[in-house]
Structure 1
Amino acid sequence: MTQRLAAGPGAEWGVLPFVALVLAALLVGVSKTAVGGVATLSVALFAAVLPARESTGVLLPLLLVGDVLAVRAYRGHADRAVLLRLLPSVAAGLVLGVVFVARTSDVVMRRTIGVLLLTVAVHHGWQRARTRFRSRARAREQGPEQGQDRQDRGRQGVAEDAPTVRQHRVRTVFFGLVAGFATMVANAGGPAMSLYLLSSGFGVLGFLGTGAWFFLIVNLVKVPFSVGLGLITADGLALDGLLALAVVVGAGVGRALVHRIDQGVFERLVLVFTALASVDLLR
Structure 2
Amino acid sequence: MARAQGARALMALAFETIYGTPPVSGYTQMPFASTSLAAAQPLLSPELLGYGRDPQAPMQDAITTDGDVVVPIDAEGFGFWLKAAFGDPVTTGTGPYTHEFRSGGWTLPSMSIEVGMPEVPRFAMYSGCVLDQLSWQMQRSGLLTAKAALVAQGETVDTLSNAGTPAALTLTRFGHFNGAIKRDAVALGNIVSADLTYANNLDRIETIRSDAKIDGADPSIASLTGKIDVRFADSTLVTQAINGTAAELEFSYALGSGESLTVTAHAVYLPRPRIEVQGPQGVQASFDWQAALDATAGRMCTVVLVNNTGAY
Shared fold (TM-score, shorter chain, > 0.5): no
More contact order relative to length (CA 8 Å, sep ≥ 6): 1
Instruction: Specify which structure has the higher proportion of helix.
Output: 1
When normalised by structure 2's length, the TM-score is 0.21
Instruction: Please identify which structure carries the higher strand content.
Output: 2
